[in-house]
Each structure stands twice: as C-alpha cells, then as structure tokens.
Structure 1
Amino acid sequence: MVRRLPFLLGGIALFLVNALTLSIGFGFGLSGVPAALLIAAPVVLCWYRPMAAWWLALAGLLLLTLLGPVLSDDEALQYRPWLLNAIPAHLAVVYVLALSVRLRIAIPAFVIYLAAGALTPIHLLDDLPNAIAGAIVWAMAVLVAMVLGHNKRVRLTSTLRIAEERGRRLVLEERNRIARELHDMVAHHMSVIAVQTATARYRLPGGVSEEASREFQAINATARESLREMRHLLGVLRDPADPAETEPPPQGLADLPRLMESARRAGTPVRLAVVDTPDPLSPAAALTAYRIVQEALSNVVRHATGAATRVEVAPDETCSALIVEVHNAPPDAPPPAVERPHPGHGLVGMRERVAVHGGDMTAAPTPEGGFIVRATLPLASSTGAGEPSPDVMDGGDGRDTSDDQRIDRR
C-alpha cells in the first residue's frame, strides 16, 4: 500500500540528524546515538510490522520523555516529542498504523500515544503554557496523520472490494458462456438421439418388434423433453444485452489452421504443430483446446505483436491427457497502446474452461521475456496415439479482432 524505500531513507536520515542534534545540540553526549536510534528505528520497522513499530515508538517516547531531563545537560533543550527533529517519526508511525489496522485498534493506540506524550508538560512545569501549546500542536499533527491513514485505508478497502466483485462477475460471465457452448453440444447429441429413436422402425432391416418400438418412442419423448428443458435453461443463462451470435461455432482442432492464418495476418508469425490425439477426443475437449489457443494468440497479438509464437497440441506421454501450449518469444518492440472499451479477461476464461475438464493451466512470463500458456486437459479414455505427425505451418500476418480473443495479462 505504501512504498518501502521512502521509509528506509527517512529512517536513515532521521537517525543521522538526531544523532548529531541530540549528542551536540541537546547535550546528550554519546547517549544521543541510542536515543536517535529509538526515534528512527520505528520509521523503518513500520513498513514491515506497523504494530511492533508503534510499540517501539511508544517505548522510545516514554523513555526519552522521562530520561530527557537526566540525559540533557541543558534544561532548556530537554527532549520534547513535538520538536521538528522527532515529529516526522511520530507522524510516519501513526499514519502507517492507521493504514494497516482497523479503527477499533487505531483509536486506542492513538489515545495511548497522546497520553504518553502528555507526560512532557508535567516535566516542564517552569514553562507550562508553552509546553501545553506544543503538546496540543503535536497532538493535532498526530491526529491528522491518523485520519489520513484511515481515510486511505477506507479507499483502498473499497477499491479491493469492487475489484473482488468484478472478478466474481467476470468468472460468472465466463461460466455462462461456457455453459451456452456446452448446451449447443449436448443439444446436438440429444437431437441425434431423438431422430435415431424416431426413425429406428424405418431404418432397421426387418423392422422392430412392438415392444422395442414402444421403448424407442419412450426414449424419443425423453430426449425431446430434455431438449425443451435445456432451451429454458439456456434462456436463463443468456443475457438479453448480449449480442446475437451469428457465426457458426468452431469445430475444435480442425479450425486451428484458420486461426493461425488470422494471427499471421495480424503480423504475428505462428508455428503450429498438432500431434495425433488419442481417440476419442470429445467435442467439448476439442472446443476447449481451440478456445485456449484462440485466447492465447489474441494475447500475443495484443501484447507482443510480431513475436515469434509456437502453438503445440499433443497428448502427454501416457496419452491420458491433452497438452495445449502457446509460447511466444519477446516482441521486437513494445506494442502500441490500444484503448479498449472493455478490459479483456481471457485468462479467466481459459482457467474456467480447463477447470470444467478437471485439468490445470499455467500462464507466466518466461526468463527470456516471452510468455507461455500451458493447459492440461485429462482425456476420458485413451487408446494410443500412434506416431506423431505434426502439421507445421510457418510465418504470415493477419488480425482477428473478435471480443472473445481479447486477453488481459493482468
């Protein structure tokens, strides 16, 4: 929430200034060095442990206030918490504490801090009016630091809550889209069942018995009812504000070459290698593999235009899972800034699609400066994949600007 370096530099500066000021100006002598350390150490510590820094600052405030008249040779220059050489340390500690903890903890801490600082006027009875005025100014400054810290905490908490809600909404949107695609596949299979059961008596040689005919009719009725219920479910999942989908859905791995050409037209050289996959590969798994490649290539086109990219789809060594990998090299030049009306969330969609199949996915930058997306999709069954026969395509340019392909690498 706050940067570390200013606190480190501020603590070092406070230590050096106070070591000289207390030792020479205040007459502390050698004891001015540990006294300066008590003032400066909480500033460095508060970035790591705000509550521990507050306790250390409180101990330093009490010790220096009580021992100041003993350590200082000049009574007029006894230690006071509101002097300019010490007040930055108090403000930093209280600000970070209020930023880091809830108000029910920050308020008691503030009150205890003020009570400790109020001991100073008691030791300065000879100059009580000025001591009280100084204590009031110091207390107001510490109060302002606490209010500013708590105010920033409230704003950050609100921002995090909004980001969390937005993240949940994006996940739900992706799940709805995946559910609609799966609905299309299941509806197709149910339609095939309905047609086959309705026409069985005419297709099978010699016809079917009356009992088998009634069984086929019952299956046909169940399939049709299931289709009606699935249409109702799709109506619930569909957002009326969503644009109508007019393009035919992709057929899976068979459409990958067309996707590669689109990326090449966008100026991204792509190399595709598809190794024979185990039979059978379900339509849902094939569509998931296609969508992962689509989203990953969109990510490359958007964030690393012109970077050499390799797409590989192959079974693992045991042919029990399908590995989808998209690896791009570092771009030759930073991509141009493109304003987007809606931020992409392709990584969210990829993870949700892989999770549907019980697989896992990793997406991370490479040490060379590129990026790699790797997804593992378990296969329901595997019968062996034969000899690899990669279908390799190279080079080219093109652009595919559909919203489904946009990826936000954040």
Structure 2
Amino acid sequence: MNEKRAAAPAHQTKRVGGLDGVRALCALGVAGVHTSFAAGVMGAYVAPPGNEFLATLLAGMRPLALGPFFVLSGMLLYRPFARWTLGGGTRPRIGPFLAKRLARLWPAYALLAVVCVFLLNYAAVDGPWYVLRPLLMLQVYDYTWIAGMDPAWTVPAEMQYYLALPLIAALMHKLAKGVADPVRKARRMLVPLVLITAGSAVWTWWIHRPEMGVYPEQYWWPLAVGGAFALGMGMAILQVLAELRPGREPFLHRIAGNHPLLFWVGALAIYAFNCSQPFGRPGYGDYEGVGLALTQYFLLLGFSYLMVMPLAIPGAKSRVVDAIVANPVSRYLGRISYGIYLWHFAVMYFWFETGSVFGTEPGMMNQLRGTIGFPELMTAVLAGSILAATLSHYLVERPVVNAVGRWAARKQAAAAPAPAPGAVPEQRERDPYTVAGPR
C-alpha cells in the first residue's frame, strides 16, 4: 500500500475521477439496500431477514450511502463562495449558479416523474395537480406516494439547499468580512454551519419520537439532511484556507493528503459499527427509533467526511483507493449515478409488472417483498437502471447542462469588465472540484 502525496497546484484542469467513483459506490449501495428489502433479504418489523449475513451487511449501509451525495454537493458548490469570502475574489453570479443547478437536477427528475405518473400511477391521476405536484417537487410536503419515485424525496431536499446556499453564503460572508485574518474568517464562517448541523440533529430527534409514528409526513422534509450539506460546506472552507496558506494546512487536511487510505479504513470501521445497528436490530430495515436515528445521523457525518475528504485534496494518492474509485468503470458509473439513483426503484416496479401500464394498482414494496430472489432482482435492477441512466445522461441531462453552461458563460463574459488597453487577458483556471455529479 504505497501512500504518497504528489506535488500539485491548488487548481488543476484534470477531472477528479475519484469523486465520480464515490458517487458510483453510493448509488449502487442505495440500490442494493432497496433491492434487498424488495427481495426479502433484509428483515422489517415482523418479517425476519431472508439471509441474516447479507441483510446485516446491507442494513449497515442504510443510511450511510446517502451521506456522501449531500456532502459532495455542499463542498463542490460552496467552494466558489468560500473563495469569494476568504480570498477576496468576485462573488459568484447567482442567476447562472441557480440555472446550472436547475439544469443539472430537474430534467432527469422530471423525466422520471412523467414516466412514473403516466405508466405506473395513471389510475391514481385525479387532476392536473397530481401531475404538477411531483414536477414542482412538492409531493414531499403532503407526502403523496408515487410508485417508482419512492427514493426521489431526496431530490427536492437537494434543490431546496441549492436555493438556500447563496443566502447562507451571504450570511457567512457578512459574519466574516469584519476581520482580515483568513483563519479568523474561517472560524466565523463555520458558526452558521454548526447551527445547521445541530438543528438537523434536533429535527432528527423530533421526527423519530414514538408519538410521531412510523414515517410521519415530516420525515420527507429536507431538514434532516442539513448536517451533511453543512459538513460539505465546512470542508470547502478548510480546503480554500489550505490553498491560501500552503504549508500550513489544518491537521486533518494534512493527514488526509498524506494517508488517504487511513481515512477510508476509518470509514470502513464506521460502516462495520453501523452493521450492529446500535439501538436497533441487525439485518432489519425498521423505521428507526430515537436512539438509532441520532446515532446514525452522526455516523453518517463521520462516514461521509472520511470517504470524501482524501479525494478532495489535490495530489493525495493511494493505489488502493484509486483502484476502487478511479478506474474507468467506477468513473463511468459515477457520471451516470444520478440516473441510477433515480431509476432503480422504478425498474423494480416494471420488473414486478405492477402498475397502471400492466392493468393493476401499483403494489407497495412491502407487499411485493419476497416474491423474487435477490440475485435475479439485483441483476434486473442493475441492468435496467444503468440502461435508463445512460439514456437519460446522453439524451437529456448532458445536452441541457451543456446548453445552460454555454448561456452562463456568455452571461459571465458579458458582465466581465473590459481589459485595459495593452493588458494581458486574465487566464481563468478551472476548479478541479466543479465536476458534475448526481446532484
């Protein structure tokens, strides 16, 4: 295990493939957890696990696999705002920022919504609002179950944090602008993020109290994932601070850069501990009580930090980590991982042949569980979701993202001040972290 940190500039032009690989692992992990439940491998309430060993491993992945998605979003999207505050640069333009986020998130999600509403849930359509509700990402607030979109509640949560990010960034900038020292600036900027993380923990406790029942309507609201998003923003602050103070990086930043595999071993240890389901039952996908929910909230933050941090440092190298996340297959699956995440549940409904297009009411997964073997269903889910994700990526997502990106570039060029006569044009360096992800 050869760990070394090669010299690298603060800005690179090469795509950070390892971050794509993490997205692939997480998307496949989420698909595996849901498929195991539908196939009866994972236990739930009165139904025992169909395979205790496999169920224990998969239950330990729940809900850790979701965390890196939100951490990556917070880290990647806040970095330009962190440079604005810490480095005195230009504030990112809000219009292009929001347009690019909408282009990245909504088209593939809208395609899924249209397919699920009209093919799986057509018999339930009782008016225009039934169709408009998911397209506007509002189904999470009255929780309207739409077969095939079962895990897509995280997409409205992500979108609402995108809308909130410029406001949070402006608040953090205001708190920090009264001091000149970057370290003191960073400390002030972290205050709102600590409050968001604490608030999300309180919300997690509140929605898991016994009197709230199982999966209350508020469970689907975006507040519970705020801690992971805030963690990513905090990581962005420390990364920009390290760029501004080369040779004086924060301690954990140095450790992650020099020993990335050590961080991944720590993430593996957290996953192994979560397999024991503290305050819960190993191998079961029950709705969490307060103790398990709060424990998993903080385990998710630790797991996500340890997974993402080594890959977010330019020059950090590990042959073991790179072999897992930077190989061509992982990188490709990472590029289409948003589609895999979106489509894997819909593929299950089509495979079970349940829904309006098959002349039936869509059956809920707890009604269908155990009617098919896990290997067969997992194979169908992987093949179907990868195919759907590939088509979505190349026919819908990438054309829209590229078109909006060109529009944003024109807007930015038009707003830039004209150079003085005889001046050398500024060479803009591409941030290696602004790669497109599943969110």
TM (norm. structure 2) is 0.20
Higher relative contact order (CA 8 A, sep 6+): 2
Structure with greater strand percent = 1
Structure with greater helix percent = 2
Larger Rg computed on CA atoms = 1
